[in-house]
Amino acid sequence: MRIAITREVSPRIGDCELAHLARVPIDLDTARAQHRQYEECLAALGCRIHRLPAEPSLPDSVFVEDTAVVLDELAIIARPGAASRRGETGAPAEMLRAYRRLTYIEQPGTLDGGDVLRIGKRLLVGLSSRSNEAGVEQMRRLAGPFGYSVESVRVKGCLHLKSAVTQVAESTLLVNPKWVDTGAFEGMELVDVDPREPFGGNALLVGDTVVYPISYPATRRRLEERGIVVKAVDVAELGKAEGGVTCCSLIFSA
């Protein structure tokens, strides 16, 4: 059984943290409607949705991916790089406790789940404005005993590693090569985003289907031309808060 932990959109999402986008108004009703449609898409792909309630004091809390990294053997509870987001981890951790042994990233480490790309037993961790070397080293210590390799990857020009690169098939990655050194992905087939769609590198692989924003049609065509099955969703309002399709869920096998 595949579980997807989600969290309802905070009424204060307009006060979200921003690093690379200018602040523009976010329509709360539209954001919530798009989030519900996103959840419906995950459910149609076989996920059982576990929804956490909205948290008015935590504007970014819909982006639940950043709170944890869920592996087969344990869950690593993150320590977000933005101090304002550190209160987000408690509720997801309590929900994860029913499924995994919990471990924690501790000071001085910082780690956002959006910086962790898992490819089998490889964990690629972005060194970004939100995740640091100490966080990477702690992750190596926690995951290494279970056979995972942990490699750091320098990120530039975007918020998280998974803003720049995500997995779209067993041996295929979607990547914006301007934001990450593609040398880190040796042995994988790479699909570049369309240059006109620099934010198009964030895709969510669920089983054999890629959940992907409708905002990037040229990049979507590149995926479909390679035989990748794509399910398009509208998350444009959440994108104003620097969110993507991976950000809004923690997906793992029960």
* Active-site annotation holds for 16: no
**To 5 degrees, how large is the angle CA 199–CA 25–CA 62?**
65
| Beta strand segments in 170-208, E | 172-175, 189-192, 204-206
- To which residue do tokens 């720049």 refer? 164
Contact partners, residue 5, CB within 8 Å, separation at least 6: 50, 51, 52, 64, 92, 95, 96, 249, 250, 251
**Distance between first and last Cα of the chain:** 5
Residue 201 Cα distances to 59, 156, 182, angstroms: 24, 14, 13
Catalytic residue among 16, 35, 160, 248: 160
Alpha carbons 140 and 58: distance in angstroms, whole number: 29
Q: How does strand 229-233 pair with strand 204-206?
A: unpaired
DSSP category for residue 172: E
Alpha carbons 145 and 56: distance in angstroms, whole number: 38
Helix (H/G/I), strand (E/B), else coil: 163: helix
Q: Which helix (H) or strand (E) holds 221?
A: helix 217-224
- To which residue do tokens 């939100």 refer? 130
* Active-site annotation holds for 20: no
Catalytic residue positions?
Answer: 160, 247
